[in-house]
C-alpha cells in the first residue's frame, strides 16, 4: 500500500509522527510537504495530495 500525506506548517510535527507510525506498519509513504515548521500555504499541499 502507498499513501500520500501532506500538511501545512502547523501540522508538520503531527505529520512526521503519522508517517513514522505508518512506515512501521510497512506502508510506503509519499511526503508531499511541508518540509518544516516555517509558515506555508496549506492549499498547495492539499492539492498535491489530491492529485497524487
Report which of 16, 17, 14, 19 is spatially closest to residue 3, judged by C-alpha positions: 19
pLDDT confidence bin for 41, thresholds 50/70/90: confident
Give the global pTM: 0.87
Mean pLDDT of the chain: 95
How many domains, the chain? 1
Domain of residue 11 covers: 2-50
CA atoms of 36 and 50, how far apart (whole Å): 20
pLDDT confidence bin for 23, thresholds 50/70/90: very high
Burial class (CB in 10 A: 0-12, 13-18, 19+), 9: middle
Is the pLDDT reported for residue 42 higher than 90?
no
Amino acid at each position: 500500500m502507498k499513501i500520500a500525506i501532506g500538511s501545512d506548517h502547523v501540522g508538520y510535527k503531527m505529520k512526521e509522527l503519522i508517517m513514522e507510525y505508518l512506515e512501521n506498519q510497512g506502508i510506503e509513504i509519499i511526503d508531499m510537504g511541508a518540509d518544516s515548521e516555517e509558515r506555508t500555504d496549506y492549499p498547495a499541499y492539499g492539492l498535491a495530495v489530491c492529485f497524487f
